[in-house]
Amino acid sequence: MTEGSTAVPGTAGDRSPLPTTAAEARAQVQDLLDTHPEAPSRMVINDILLVTSELVTNALRHGGGLTAFHVAREPDGLRVAVTDRSPDLPRTSASASSHDPAGRLGGFGWPLIQRLSRSVTITPAPPGKTIEAVLAYDLPAL
């Protein structure tokens, strides 16, 4: 996969443009889910789209911008990888919520990503990092 591209394995080299918003990333994931032979439940799809949105929003808001986006189907789930320009690791606010310098409410996304994902890994990708979430096609155990 080249920087700035979206590669969707199994689609013969499909290259979609790098999403510039969380909505564009969700649309790319939804397009991939629409091709799934046995679609997950609407609740699972909503969780997958929510995690996608949080990962991309965090990269745009806190990570210096999105440099790569990759989504791939797996036998039991979906893998979403987001690369940004910041080496800083995600963190949860000391309080249940926080305000960024622009006054926006925040602090809920990272715990949500961790809770809804089967696994989350962070890998250095100089100058930044890649955060990869694997989401199951069935509901997570709460």
pLDDT (tens digit per residue) in 38-89? 888 999 999 999 999 999 999 999 999 999 999 999 888 999 999 999 999 9
From 4, 137, 134, 2, select the one nearest 71 (Cα to Cα).
Answer: 134
pTM for the model stands at 0.81
**C-beta of residue 112 within 8 angstroms of C-beta of residue 54:** yes
Q: Which position has the token pair 């990962």?
A: 55
Third-level CATH fold of 5-136: Heat Shock Protein 90 (3.30.565)
140 or 18: whose pLDDT is higher? 18
Euclidean distance between CA atoms 35 and 56, whole angstroms: 22
Q: Which position has the token pair 């799934």?
A: 36
**C-beta of residue 18 within 8 angstroms of C-beta of residue 68:** yes
**Residue 10 confidence (pLDDT) above 90:** no
Could you read off the pLDDT of 93-128 as tens digits, one per residue? 655 445 555 555 567 889 999 999 999 999 999 999
Euclidean distance between CA atoms 63 and 84, whole angstroms: 5
**Residue 3 confidence (pLDDT) above 70:** no
Token pair belonging to 70: 């990759």
Euclidean distance between CA atoms 107 and 99, whole angstroms: 8
Q: Which position has the token pair 């939804």?
A: 30
So what's the pLDDT on residue 61?
Answer: 93
So what's the pLDDT on residue 6?
Answer: 44
From 121, 115, 137, 140, select the one nearest 29 (Cα to Cα).
Answer: 137
Token pair belonging to 31: 């397009």
Q: How many residues does the chain have?
A: 142
Walk across the sheet containing 77-84 and list its strands: 66-74, 77-84, 128-136, 119-125
